[in-house]
Structure 1
Amino acid sequence: MEERVYWTAEAADMVGIGTSTIRKYALALEAKGYNIQRNDKQQRAFTKKDIAALKRIVELTQAGVMTLDSAVNTVINEFAGENPSDELKNEDNADHKVYSTNDVAAILEHVKKQDERLDRIERFNRELINRLDEQTKYITESINKRDDQITSAIRELQDTKRLLATSTEEKAEHSKGFLSKLFGKK
């Protein structure tokens, strides 16, 4: 009995990604020696095994666990030597995920990298908070200093106005007294 094959668009629908992404993943698999059947027009004909391999790549890459290259290597190792009946058994047990040692190691490495990133982010945030505190302190001190200078300038201006007013009054009295003396008026 001949195995059913799926064309690129059908495979994309089954896997749940776009046709261009299917082609990209197929090229990556083929570059590592994975064989995908083709017809006379060189169109890819995906088997159930190929669909399962593509689904596994999507699973590994979308979870952020692995890069495409690592996921392709893992899939090739997992699917090397499998026959279609093994594939059907795996498809029946699709709800029960089994992770290889490579998967677990990749996940642990990913978690470790995320922890390191979080630590860097926390240090960066603390540094930013310290800088903001320093800037706030500087701005507050600058505003207070400016306010003190403005208050001092206003006081000096008021004192100068008072002195000018007093001086003007004294001059007016002084000149009044002189004219009075001159004309004999008091």
Structure 2
Amino acid sequence: MSDILLKVEDVSHAVGVAASTIRKYSFLIEKQGYTFSRSNQGALMYDKDEVSIFKEIIQIKKQKNMTLEKAVQRALSNMSDMVDIADISRGPYDDMSGMSDVQDMSKAIAAMQAQMKAVLDQNEKVLLQNQELIRKVERLEDTSSLEKEKIENRDKLLLDAMKEIKETKKVIATSLEENRKALQKKWWEFWR
């Protein structure tokens, strides 16, 4: 296996079949216990040895009249550099100490790194969302404190206005009472 990983479209061009066929073959191969590399976004990725598996499957299908599943099984069994299917059927990093091939270990490590990167990316997104929520809450608190201050100012103005009205009513009432007394006094004086 090499370090260069190819996308489905690249493999389909190299092998001469549609990308959907490569995906179908990949599914059948993984059904046999083999695990392909995946990108951070989860897209299938292939190395040159895996491309040769697809070429082998296509060649077997052309030469012999057999089902696709049997062609996949035969291509996997014909691959000389493939690890025993029983070893591959384990997860890519269930037990790294039992892996005999350095390439399998590096593939498992790459898969773990891809998963860790995906988790870190997800954590970064959540962190950014949390920071945005905190900013929104702070803006709301600022807005609500301004609104509270406006309401307090309005209430103070209303209370001041009510006090003035009350004082004005007292002055008016006192003035009216004085005027009434003055009129009464003048009326009695008028008859004298």
- By relative contact order (CA 8 Å, sep 6+), the higher-ranking structure is 2
